[in-house]
């Protein structure tokens, strides 16, 4: 894929950048600006090169209609603070305000266009409808830079179709994400540990399927562990359980054993009688009382996980070990996060809840080798799926050089 450096002199060019600015908001307050900060280097690089930078992104799922609750205005304000320069904001995406701002922009200026998902064409399944919106976006710009890795698994107008209408390249964020994910899937340095948590086994089926062939150790925590424990015949009490995944979990246990992969399940669990930050106790993983539910891996398990992680040269972690938002059930996640900071090699935090957890627990982004902004896109890449937002860039560049 082409990168920004392949686009030549960008001074005076209108560059449409697709960023991922889908941040959590409490009213108009951004509660985690990680994705905004991750978008800054490419935007700054383009502005410093004299480009007229038009940032387009989505926020939430407004359903194709304008909704003030999903406005990117607070994000534009935060971006201005991080860039240290004024950032223009258009109250529409391809309407009169956007055109007025674009026509008046000077070299090196940055503008944010309103939420692309306010237009139904962005997410339409109809190629013609989506293409018509992409035409309107393309009319604003001379060049397209794809820098929102969190959306490259979507076949959407501002991600996919726009790349067929303008000279296109990937930004630094997408380039870095792809390089890291390739290191996780193509000849990773060993030992290689994959740590999976979160609520459901069903959310991680593809990742387990693909990485079982590549990892040396697979460590399972979070709510998904109870399906594995039940599959082994253990009582899990009132813990989260996917009954329809029991046979699949058994299959993974058997497959790991056959392939020599160390599939590690917790030996102790932090439980409580209800989903509340009180009355917590630690029990053996094979002796969860019927009236209790598991809400974190126990200290013995966390220590074992940490030992395996720190002895590895490559580690990928996706999904918290417990309900980290509650102090009584945060220790497992914090221990795993701390271990990742001590890896002598590549440590990757797989975005989503994992990224939110490490920040909430007091870790800095640069404590880790890489914190993915991808979430679902990262998981789909690790599953071996084709990501439309990347494949179209490959295709366009191949055709352009043919």
Where b means 16+ CB within 10 Å and e means fewer, 339-348 reads bbbebeebbb
214 is catalytic: no
Cβ atoms < 10 Å from Cβ of 103: 9
Active-site residue, from 95, 108, 369, 376: 376
What does the DSSP 8-state code read for residue 192? E
Which secondary-structure segment (H or E) carries 324? none
Reduced to 3 states (helix: H, G, I; strand: E, B; else coil), residue 350 is coil
Residue 191, preceding peptide bond in cis (omega within 30° of 0) = yes
Whether residue 69 contacts residue 117, with contact meaning beta carbons closer than 8 Å, is answered with no
237 is catalytic: no
- Going from the C-alpha of 117 to that of each of 56, 87, 129, 320, the distances in angstroms are 10, 21, 13, 29
Active-site residue, from 13, 18, 35, 165: 35
Active-site residue, from 352, 374, 375, 389: 352
389 is catalytic: no
How far is the C-alpha of 54 from the C-alpha of 135, rounded, in Å?
A: 15
Which secondary-structure segment (H or E) carries 31? none
Question: Burial level of 83, CB count in 10 A (0-12/13-18/19+)?
Answer: middle
How far is the C-alpha of 402 from the C-alpha of 195, rounded, in Å?
A: 42
Residue 264 pairs in a beta bridge with 219
Closest C-alpha to 40, from 179, 181, 173, 159: 173
Residue 391 CB partners (closer than 8 Å, separation 6+): none
How far is the C-alpha of 292 from the C-alpha of 182, rounded, in Å?
A: 41
Active-site residue, from 2, 200, 310, 313: 200
376 is catalytic: yes
- Going from the C-alpha of 260 to that of each of 180, 214, 231, 263, 301, the distances in angstroms are 25, 11, 20, 9, 21
Active site amino acids: 35, 200, 352, 376
């Amino acid at each position: 894929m082409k990168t920004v450096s392949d686009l030549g002199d960008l001074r005076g060019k209108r560059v449409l950048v697709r960023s991922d600015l889908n941040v959590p908001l409490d009213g108009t307050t951004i509660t985690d600006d990680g994705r905004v900060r991750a978008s800054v280097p490419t935007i700054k690089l383009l502005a410093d090169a004299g480009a007229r930078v038009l940032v387009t992104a989505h926020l939430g799922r407004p359903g194709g209609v304008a909704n003030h609750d999903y406005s990117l205005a607070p994000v534009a304000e935060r971006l201005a603070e991080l860039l240290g320069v004024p950032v223009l904001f258009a109250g529409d995406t391809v309407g009169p305000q956007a055109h007025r701002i674009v026509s008046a922009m000077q070299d090196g200026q940055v503008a944010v266009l309103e939420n692309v998902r306010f237009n139904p064409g962005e997410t339409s399944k109809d190629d013609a409808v989506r293409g018509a919106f992409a035409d309107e976006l393309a009319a604003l710009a001379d060049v397209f830079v794809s820098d929102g890795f969190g959306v490259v698994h979507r076949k959407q107008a501002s991600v996919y179709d726009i790349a067929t209408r303008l000279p296109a390249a990937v930004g630094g964020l997408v380039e870095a994400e792809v390089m890291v994910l390739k290191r996780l899937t193509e000849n990773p340095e060993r030992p290689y540990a994959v740590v999976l948590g979160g609520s459901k086994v069903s959310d991680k089926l593809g990742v387990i399927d693909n990485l079982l062939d590549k990892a040396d150790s697979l460590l399972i925590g979070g709510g998904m562990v109870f399906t594995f424990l039940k599959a082994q015949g253990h009582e899990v009490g009132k813990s989260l359980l996917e009954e329809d995944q029991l046979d699949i979990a058994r299959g993974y246990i058997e497959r790991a054993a056959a392939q020599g992969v160390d599939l590690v399940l917790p030996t102790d669990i932090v439980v409580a009688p209800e989903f509340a930050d009180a009355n917590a106790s630690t029990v053996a993983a094979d002796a969860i009382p019927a009236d209790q539910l598991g809400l974190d891996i126990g200290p013995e398990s966390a220590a074992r996980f940490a030992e395996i992680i720190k002895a590895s040269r490559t580690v990928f972690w996706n999904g918290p070990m417990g309900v980290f938002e509650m102090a009584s059930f945060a220790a497992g996640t914090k221990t795993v996060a701390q271990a990742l900071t001590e890896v002598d090699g590549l440590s990757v935090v797989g975005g989503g809840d994992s990224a939110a957890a490490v920040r909430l627990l007091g870790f800095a982004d640069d404590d880790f080798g890489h914190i993915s902004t991808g979430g679902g896109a990262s998981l789909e890449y690790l599953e071996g799926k084709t990501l439309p937002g990347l494949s179209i860039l490959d295709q366009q560049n191949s055709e352009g050089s043919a």
